[in-house]
Amino acid sequence: MEHPTAEAVLQGVYTLYNNPNKQEKEKASRWLEEFQKSIHSWEIADQLLQQKHDLNSCTFAAQTMRNKIQNSFHELPESAHESLRQSLLEHISHITLETKPVIVTQLSLALADLALLMSSWRKPVATLLERFSSNPHMMYAVIELLTLIPEEINSRYLRLGANRRKDVLTELETDASLVGEYLLMCLMNCNDNEVLQTKILKCFAAWVQINAFNLSQIGDNMIVAYAFQLLTNVNTKAEIHDAATDCLCSLLQCLETNNNGNGLDVKLFNGILSLEEAYNMSVAQEDLDKSLNLCRLFTVLVESNLVKMVAGSEAVSPHYSIKGLELVLMCVGHYDFEVAEITFNMWYRLSEDLYQRNNETLTAHFKPYVERLIAALYKHCQMEADHEGLIQEEDSFKDFRFKVSEIIKDVIFIVSSISCFKQMFLILQSPNVTWESSEAALFIMENVARNILPEESETVPKVVEAILNLPDNCHIAIRYTSINILGELCDWIDSNPETLEPILNFLLCALQQKNGLATAAANALQSICSSCKKHMLGHINGLMEIARCLDGFEIQTESAIGLLKGISIIIGRLPGEQLTTAMQELCSFQVQALSQLTTGEDDGLGVKKDRHDPIFWVDRLASIYRHVNPTIPDTEVNPCVFVIVSNWNVLSRAMECYKNDSKIMERIVRCIRYAIRCVGKQAMPILEPLVKQIIIIYSGHNHSCLLYLGSILVDEFAGEPSCIQGLLNMLRAFIEPTFQVLQVENGLKNHPDMVDDFFRLVARFIQRSPFQLLQSPLVTPIIQCGLLACTLDHRDANLSVMRFFCSLLSYGRHDRATELRSIVHGILQQHGESLIMNLLYASVFCLHSYMLSDVADVFVEIKQLNPQQLDGYVRKAVDALPKKNSGGCMTVTNEQMIEFVESIVKSETPRAVTQALQEFARLYR
């Protein structure tokens, strides 16, 4: 971009915000975006802030300045840092209470980020307080700055590096007392200005979160006392109530990880216990926001004490902090389920800890609390008495009940499933029980039914009998939940086969119902088919009849596919000839419809829109192929082969028909994949036409799913000598169109699925037929592409690239064939230095920390081949990295570089290498 003028930028901003012409606005937006990326934006943003032309231009200039410092600070030479600091300080000095918050925030962010990046600016907090603290008009701006400096320390945009971050935190700790005194002075002189009071609390919390304050001296802090005072006062406004809650939550979280507060934890605990009355007042006044805040505070109180609470309750008496659960349960009992939901993560954490310890005495201390939790959740799960029909999918109450299901499954071991089941059954037997109470009890029972032991004979038979004899006039929700219970009792039914026939008759009747019951029945049938395979064989005729009538039932698509899965599982257990006949019939319903669609003769498919979507039928067919899994010795003909080969022409025609549609192609390819997996090498009759077809389609449409299908074919057929050359030709045909897509600008970044599927294919080829691939000229361009893809920040794609390199390098080990070893060692000699260079650069600058374990596997493979080579490569790669960050701070010291190289070379396991990479990467992040 040529050097623009301030006037041109002003005009662009005016057009963006005021021009009614949409095309002109978009054009201005693109131009301003390019301007912000240019080096000239530093100077012009500064000019616009000085001119104060209007709100929009000032906002844009402030955002530009903040954006440049966060993302492009390296553009400025160190000699320009001081003038930038002075300019920003000057802009900040003109902020008043009347300045728009968005401008204050953006300017403050810019200066805060500069303070963190600019290593030559020593003691920035002291500088700001010295310059501005005596000016009461600057109070708002200074507090905003003091809040953002600690908040931005861990900003992923700044890449401060561990060394700089450590220096800054040390510096902030020494300034914390100054900040505390300033905030206290502001609190005493803010004249009850709620905006400032809120800012003071937020600032205090930000400094607490970085552990800057000495916790042993904070117990009597007036700001902490003020936070309690605000939470106690029924007249406190919502925003400041939020800030006070956040402030105390920050303290609790700080204590959880750093408990050297010399009694502060007990003092806070008792102080928060005393807020019970404030919570009760919020409930009485129906002030939901305050109830939510106090519930959050009580929950964080328990979470911060959780380790001590559990560890300290292994004795006869539980730890004192268990009282916090009383507060949490009080909140779970709130009339609004949104309050109860806040506590769910705490219950999950508690259950995880108790499960890991596996101590019955310990668990017994928490059992009464979990029983009360389930009782409260049972009440929350009740529908309104006048509710008709089922709960709608988009209803927030449906989402809440799903979360209740999850939390009950997490905690149920504490009270035992059968105990809970019996307790809910007692509710069902209560005199004059309402329908909504019955349904909620059944809902709780549904979530524990799967855990009930098969030999239970006291309560479950009564429940099953009651469900099978539900009156015709019972509420539909009761019938729906009862059907779900039968599905969850599938393991119990398998051990009590005498109940199977009446249950199947009940479900068959429900399949013919509407309003959601048919879908529930289909899901239940799928579960029973999966668990009761042996007993369901005798009902195969009934299942086939259900399959014939499937489109006559009002079943959701996903549930219909699930029902086909269940039927397919049973078909897979039939004797050979019966299996072929049943599978052919089951497939024919889907294949016939798909055939009509591909030939344009789909008038007979009905008026429903989804029936005219090929995905509808392909997904059904895929479910059958996936789940008919007969146990057949390799020497015998798989009874599924006849069906799969017979249906091939329809799938082939579908691929040709829908080759322009990537979504449909993905589903067709998935269906073919399951077909191949179903019969393995016996799919040989369709291999050659399939390979020819996918090569032609891929050359024109680049569907990455075809690459994935290629990897399946390699996996299944590369062991057959007669197939290897054809598969190698397939790979060769895939390479050119793949590289054409990936080699354009941002090609790797914009097509991670293609990277993933291509390197999965190559890795499979190396695993199944290494000689043929490694001896071919294809290997060099593939490796070069892999080197570029090392930096791709996409989990699946990067994992496939790393697995490719690991598979390749593994053939250089001593236990491999001599010829293969020499090829791999030659590859390492040629590309090893570039590989390590790219892997280390990617680890430091491109990849998420959780992805480095995959990178570590490659390091370990190279070490096993040649430790001396690895040592040399890592030293060169480390030496090539920058030693200073954009702020002029030393990123990595010589000692740290030497320590990293030694730790990589000495590490014996991928885990140790991962840890070394993660620690080294932190120096740059």
Tell me: the pLDDT tens digits for 861-892?
999 999 999 999 999 999 999 998 888 888 99
Residue 782 φ then ψ, to 5°: -65, -45
User: What whole-number distance in Å separates Cα of residue 519 and Cα of residue 503?
Assistant: 16
Per-residue DSSP letter, 73: G
Q: Is 80 exceeded by the pLDDT of residue 602?
A: no
Q: Look up residue 437 and give its two tokens.
A: 């109470």
Map tokens 């905030």 to a residue.
183
- Amino acid (one-letter) located at 159: R
Map tokens 């119990």 to a residue.
492
Stretch 169-184: mean pLDDT, rounded? Answer: 95
Compute CA distances 422 → 234, 441, 448, 455, 614, whole Å: 43, 10, 11, 15, 47
Stretch 120-127: mean pLDDT, rounded? Answer: 93
pLDDT of residue 260: 60
pLDDT of residue 885: 83
Tell me: the pLDDT tens digits for 537-586?
999 999 999 999 998 899 999 999 999 999 999 999 999 899 999 999 99
Neighbouring CB atoms inside 10 A of 514's CB total: 10
pLDDT of residue 263: 81
Which residues partner with 884 through β-bridges? 890
Stretch 692-697: mean pLDDT, rounded? Answer: 97
Compute CA distances 114 → 50, 57, 72, 101, 399, whole Å: 19, 22, 12, 20, 44
pLDDT confidence band for 514 (50 / 70 / 90): confident
Which residues, at least 6 apart from 751, have a Cβ–Cβ distance to it below 8 Å? Answer: 704, 741, 742
pLDDT of residue 693: 98
The vertex-604 CA angle with 603 and 610, nearest 5°, equals 80
Tell me: the pLDDT tens digits for 799-821?
999 999 999 999 998 888 888 99
User: What whole-number distance in Å separates Cα of residue 178 and Cα of residue 162?
Assistant: 25
Compute CA distances 816 → 177, 453, 767, 829, whole Å: 65, 50, 12, 18
pLDDT of residue 261: 53
> Are residues 67 and 59 in contact, defined by beta-carbon separation less than 8 angstroms?
no
Q: Which of 118, 106, 22, 12 is nearest to 61 (CA)?
A: 106
Stretch 386-402: mean pLDDT, rounded? Answer: 94
User: What whole-number distance in Å separates Cα of residue 405 and Cα of residue 397?
Assistant: 12
DSSP H stretches of helix in 152-287: 162-189, 194-209, 222-232, 238-257, 264-273, 276-284
Per-residue DSSP letter, 391: P
Which residues partner with 890 through β-bridges? 884
Tell me: the pLDDT tens digits for 6-36?
999 999 999 999 999 999 999 999 999 999 9
pLDDT of residue 259: 63
pLDDT confidence band for 607 (50 / 70 / 90): low
> Are residues 531 and 493 in contact, defined by beta-carbon separation less than 8 angstroms?
yes
pLDDT of residue 576: 87
User: What whole-number distance in Å separates Cα of residue 812 and Cα of residue 695?
Assistant: 32
pLDDT confidence band for 608 (50 / 70 / 90): confident
Per-residue DSSP letter, 550: G
pLDDT of residue 638: 95
User: What whole-number distance in Å separates Cα of residue 246 and Cα of residue 250?
Assistant: 6
> Are residues 618 and 635 in contact, defined by beta-carbon separation less than 8 angstroms?
no
> Are residues 801 and 759 in contact, defined by beta-carbon separation less than 8 angstroms?
yes
Per-residue DSSP letter, 171: H
pLDDT confidence band for 215 (50 / 70 / 90): confident
pLDDT of residue 690: 98
pLDDT of residue 60: 94
Compute CA distances 436 → 374, 383, 395, 464, 858, whole Å: 16, 6, 17, 19, 58
Q: Which of 590, 798, 577 is nearest to 674 (CA)?
A: 590
Stretch 509-530: mean pLDDT, rounded? Answer: 95
User: What whole-number distance in Å separates Cα of residue 523 and Cα of residue 22?
Assistant: 50
Q: Is 80 exceeded by the pLDDT of residue 251?
A: yes
CA atoms within 13 A on the CB side of 127: 13
Helix (H, G, I), strand (E, B) or coil at 890: strand
User: What whole-number distance in Å separates Cα of residue 350 and Cα of residue 763?
Assistant: 43
Q: Is 90 exceeded by the pLDDT of residue 523?
A: yes
> Are residues 111 and 88 in contact, defined by beta-carbon separation less than 8 angstroms?
yes
pLDDT of residue 604: 66
Stretch 451-471: mean pLDDT, rounded? Answer: 95
User: What whole-number distance in Å separates Cα of residue 705 and Cα of residue 707?
Assistant: 5
> Are residues 241 and 292 in contact, defined by beta-carbon separation less than 8 angstroms?
no
Q: Is 70 exceeded by the pLDDT of residue 180?
A: yes
Which residues, at least 6 apart from 456, have a Cβ–Cβ distance to it below 8 Å? Answer: 418, 492
Q: Look up residue 336 and give its two tokens.
A: 């609004």
> Measured in Å, how far apart are the chain's first and last C-alpha atoms?
30
Map tokens 């911060």 to a residue.
304
Residue 890 φ then ψ, to 5°: -65, 115
pLDDT of residue 300: 97
> Are residues 339 and 295 in contact, defined by beta-carbon separation less than 8 angstroms?
yes
Number of residues in the chain: 925
User: What whole-number distance in Å separates Cα of residue 120 and Cα of residue 302?
Assistant: 43
DSSP H stretches of helix in 322-385: 324-332, 337-342, 344-357, 360-380
